Amino acid sequence: MECVFGLVGNDYAIVVADTSAVHSILVHKSNEDKIMVLDSHKLVAASGEPGDRVQFTEYIQKNVALYQFRNGIPLTTAAAANFTRGELATALRKNPYQVNVLMAGYDKEIGPSLYYIDYIATLHKVDRGAFGYGSYFCLAMMDRHYHSGMTVEEAIDLVDKSILEIRSRLVVAPPNFVIKIVDKDGAREYAWRESVKPDAA
Amino acid sequence: MSIFEYNGSALVAMVGKNCFAIASDRRLGVQLQTIATDFQRISKVHDRLFIGLSGLATDAQTLHQRLMFRHKLYQLREERDMKPETFASLVSALLYEKRFGPYFCQPVIAGLSDGDKPFICTTDSIGAKELAKDFVVAGTAGDSLYGACEAMFKPDMEPEELFETLSQALLASVDRDCLSGWGGHIYVVTPTEVKECTLKGRMD
């Protein structure tokens, strides 16, 4: 089952997602990147229906880019999160997207932020959030060990603890995870956590 | 589980002597899981009018955005704030527009109308207004809130006593409802000032 979680530190935000692409009982691939780099300082970790996930996040990415082209300045994380919520809310009573989103971003004046947007367009700014069956374990681990102003090393340690918990306690635990970070230097991949070497392709 | 109970909420408004108070819980959940403990359910329309939206959080957020938009437009055209009675009718109309595909929300509206007379009102999800002289309740903890408020309410309470009474009623009621709680927000509004407080309750 798909696991996506994230947390905010003193000047960074981290999001983690599993990397299995699953169809019923079959694992198509185990190196599917579910965290999209929205723009230079934003990350969108999405989970849910695979087609909707890719289509919706690409749609958001292109619209965020369009805003920057038209207006010459990038959107803030809050603005991008509210735009995403608006798109999900508009589609909700017509043709809903089954995509849960954790949007992490860094703004120069505001600092790091994390937005929880679930598939029925509930938006909330959080310090730590998670989706999927893994959320039961991640949220508990983060509630226990998280404190505001964590360093990157402490946060990665917490992420590893959460991944260990998912691997040991979730019956359909995904084997591999990708960790991405966003801070003043931008959004980038931080590390992979692999317990099953993915296919060569 | 009903769609109204998906996120969990508790809202109550009570009338005092030339003042009113409106209070909510702080939990945002997804069925059994708690997502956040700092969710704002009550928002200020203007200094003398507050609205709280219980029920499905996504519809509460959408409805809130639509209502703020309509009120800002009214302010631009009329060059004044909306009266609470007018606002209640606006809420009712917006909800009934979606009669056959409703917003899954139950609003609680509280304001000071002409002559500093407190006005409270709630509607159901399709806009049926219920005006009350003493208190109105909404949310998953609604039944408990009715009982607690009925027991604790006295007419013509001063702001300090109203604050105490409403806080106790809210905290007692959410403690009996697993889907709401994690503290409370309370606004006590008099003609001269708005007092906003966070309540510490059982965090479970």
| ipTM reported for the complex, 2 dp | 0.93
- Number of other residues whose CB lies within 10 A of the CB of residue A194: 14
Residue B10 has pLDDT above 70, yes or no: yes
Contact A180, A15 (CB under 8 A): yes
Q: What are the pLDDT digits (tens) for A28-84?
A: 999 999 999 999 999 999 999 999 999 999 999 999 999 999 999 999 999 999 999
Model confidence over A54-63: pLDDT tens digits? 999 999 999 9
Residue contact A122–B57, C-beta within 8 A: yes
Distance CA A171, CA B70 (A): 50
Contact between chains at B101 and A93 (C-beta distance less than 8 A) = yes
Q: Using CA atoms of B143, B144, B146, B152 in order, give the dihedral in degrees to the nearest 10.
A: 180
A8 exposure class (CB count in 10 Å sphere: 0-12, 13-18, 19+): buried
Query: How many interface pairs between A and B have CB atoms less than 8 angstroms apart?
Result: 33
B35 touching A (Cβ < 8 Å): yes
What's the distance, Cα to Cα, between the start and end of chain A in Å? 23
Q: Are A96 and A120 contacting, i.e. CB atoms less than 8 angstroms apart?
A: yes
Confidence tier at A154 by pLDDT (50, 70, 90): very high
Cα separation, B8 vs B178, in Å, equals: 8
| pLDDT value of position A1 | 77
Which residues, other chains included, contact A20 with Cβ-Cβ below 8 Å and sequence gap of 6+? A2, A27, A29, A30, A32, A174, A175, A176
pLDDT, residue A200, reads: 57
- Asked whether the beta carbons of A127 and A7 are under 8 A apart, the reply is yes
pLDDT score, position A103: 98
Q: Is A126 an interface residue toward B (CB < 8 Å)?
A: yes
Query: With pLDDT > 70 as the criterion, what percentage of chain B qualifies?
Result: 100
| Strands of chain A, DSSP E | 4-8, 12-18, 21-23, 26-29, 35-39, 42-48, 99-107, 111-117, 123-126, 128-131, 177-183, 186-193
Contact predicate B22/B110, CB 8 Å:
yes
* Residue contact A126–B36, C-beta within 8 A: yes
Chosen for mutation from B30, B32, B38, B104 (greatest number of chain A CBs closer than 10 Å) is B30
The answer on pLDDT for A198 being more than 90 is no
Q: Which residues of B touch A121 (CB under 8 A)?
A: 58, 61-62
User: Which chain B positions have a beta carbon within 8 Å of A124's beta carbon?
Assistant: 28, 35-36, 39, 57
Q: Give dist(CA B54, CA B12) in Å, integer.
A: 10
Q: Does A112 touch chain B (CB under 8 A)?
A: no
Burial class of residue A134 (count of CB atoms within 10 Å of its CB; 0-12, 13-18, 19+) = buried
Query: How many Å lie between the alpha carbon of A68 and the closest alpha carbon of chain B?
Result: 24
pLDDT of residue A197: 80
pLDDT band at A199; cut points 50, 70, 90: low
With cut-offs at 50, 70 and 90, classify the pLDDT of residue B139: very high
Distance CA A200, CA A152 (A): 31
pLDDT in tens, B88-117: 999 999 999 999 999 999 999 999 999 999
Beta bridge partners of B185: B24, B198
| Locus of tokens 């999405």 | A46
For A134-142, what is the mean pLDDT?
A: 95
Residue A134 to residue B115: CA distance in whole angstroms: 55
DSSP state of B3: G
For A104-132, how does the pLDDT look when each residue is reduced to its tens digit (9 = 90+)? Answer: 999 999 999 999 999 999 999 999 999 99
Token pair recorded at residue A131: 């989706």
**Contact yes or no for A191/A182 (Cβ under 8 A):** no
Supply the mean pLDDT for chain B. Answer: 96
Nearest CB to A124 within list B39, B62, B101: B39
> Cα separation of B185 and B12, whole Å?
11
A140 at the B interface (CB within 8 A)?
A: no
| Helix B142-152 with B159-174: angle, nearest 10 deg | 140
The radius of gyration of chain A from alpha carbons, rounded to an integer in Å, stands at 16
The H-or-E segment that residue A151 falls in is: none
**pLDDT of amino acid B1:** 83
Q: Which residues have a Cβ under 8 Å from the Cβ of A168 and sit 6 or more positions away?
A: none
The two tokens of residue B89 are 């009718």
Chain-wide mean pLDDT for chain A?
Answer: 94
d(CA A21, CA B168): 50
* pLDDT tens string B29-80: 999 999 999 999 999 999 999 999 999 999 999 999 999 999 999 999 999 9
